[in-house]
Amino acid sequence: MLGLSTVQLLVIDHAGLSVDSRQLRFFLALVTFANFRLAAKNSGISQPGLSRQIMSLEAELGGPLFNRNSRKITLTPIGECFLPYARRAVKELEQGQHAIKELIRPDKGEICVAALHSVNTYLLPSLLASFRDQYPQTQLRLSSLGSERITKVLLDRLVDLAIVMGPVTAPELVSIPLYEEELVFLVPANHPLTSLDNVHLIDIAPYPQIIFRDGYAMNTTLNQLFAEIDCVVDVAVELNTLEAFKETVRQGVGVALLPITAVQNIPSDLVSLRVKEPKLTRKVELICRRDNYQIPVVAAFADLVAKRLPLIYSQFIQNSADRSSFKENVIPLELVAQ
């Protein structure tokens, strides 16, 4: 009889085994029925076919699994040693198959999305409501970050999808254009700039700026715009929440470049100024990893974002009740959504 140490050596000597799940199930069926004919019938295979599969498994493992010298099939020491591992492997496989079935269910799953603050605050809520109505068993996780940080967490596979300020240049990512959004400057209602008939960027440059922190594409954009007119940004405060921007501007700390979605329905003591020259806009894009396999529910959400978010943006702008908060000396509001 083979001792345990001998069995362990046999297994070690055959590292890198080529055993498939069907062979494991055939082995367990033969253990259960202790009869080749009954095991074959239960497994949906011919008796010779079952014998060949068991012999192949034995050859792979390095020794006989069953004693075949009596009417009742019994396990050899190698078979006894292998049995708990085979059971565990089949159980793990079945659990894995079940988990995958749950994962790829078209009506269920978890979706992790990273998006711009303005998108998460003003545009996505209505889309999330309609998506949840259609897919009530889904769970959505939203993170509000700057575009540069969003790109990193997407590349690190911490989120499934992202909505960022374009353009996106990373070769590992694929982008879908969503809409182009106007950028405006938020100032106190009593600010000297509100008295100008036409506002140019050079008029704004002398004033302290309330800016986004590093990692936000809006910060990069502001610095680039000022560099193009040979000016340097006079930074008063760095912030990362839209409400903090509004309150800090209200207190007269400085002026702030913000997306137009963030300045709808603002109070009367704040004014949003459109810059006539140069035209200030940003492109908002949906991005995902190029090599990413999307489970059905994530793919459905991405498709809904691509189709609906541009419309939601346009409707949000057009339906804004606070049209009077904008200087009327420049681009009409109706053109923003075009």
Higher pLDDT among residues 16 and 174, named by residue: 174
Question: Could you tell me the two tokens for 60?
Answer: 């792979």
In order of start, what are the domains of the chain with their CATH numbers?
Answer: 4-103 (1.10.10.10), 108-335 (3.40.190.290)
Tell me: pLDDT of 321 over 70: no
- What are phi and psi for residue 80, nearest 5 degrees? -60, -40
C-alpha span between 5 and 13 (Å, rounded): 12
Tell me: pLDDT of 325 over 50: no
Tell me: pLDDT of 5 over 70: no
| pLDDT score for 242 | 92
| pLDDT score for 262 | 93
What's the predicted TM-score (pTM) here?
A: 0.70
C-alpha span between 277 and 330 (Å, rounded): 10
| pLDDT score for 17 | 64
Point out the least confidently predicted range of 7-11, 26-30, 121-125, 322-326. 7-11
Tell me: pLDDT of 338 over 70: no
**pLDDT tens by residue, 211-263:** 998 889 999 999 999 999 999 999 999 998 999 999 999 999 999 999 999 99
| pLDDT score for 253 | 97
| pLDDT score for 28 | 94
C-alpha span between 39 and 230 (Å, rounded): 84
Look over the chain and give the mean of its residue pLDDT values, rounded to a whole number.
86
172 residue type, one letter: E
Contact 306, 226 (CB under 8 A): no
Q: If DSSP codes are grouped into helix, strand and coil, which group holds residue 146?
A: coil
What is the mean pLDDT of the segment spanning 319-328? Answer: 51
| pLDDT score for 97 | 85
C-alpha span between 316 and 17 (Å, rounded): 61
Element (H, E) at 27: helix 21-33
| pLDDT score for 82 | 94
| pLDDT score for 102 | 74
**pLDDT tens by residue, 89-148:** 999 998 888 888 777 777 778 899 999 999 999 999 999 999 999 889 888 999 999 999
* Interhelix angle 47-61/21-33, nearest 10 degrees: 110
Task: Residue 61: name the closest of 112, 105, 2 by CA.
Answer: 2
Tell me: pLDDT of 329 over 50: no
Task: Residue 123: name the closest of 264, 270, 331 by CA.
Answer: 264
Residue carrying structure tokens 């259609």: 134
Contact 123, 93 (CB under 8 A): no
Higher pLDDT among residues 203 and 327, named by residue: 203
Tell me: pLDDT of 317 over 50: yes
Tell me: pLDDT of 26 over 80: yes
| pLDDT score for 75 | 94
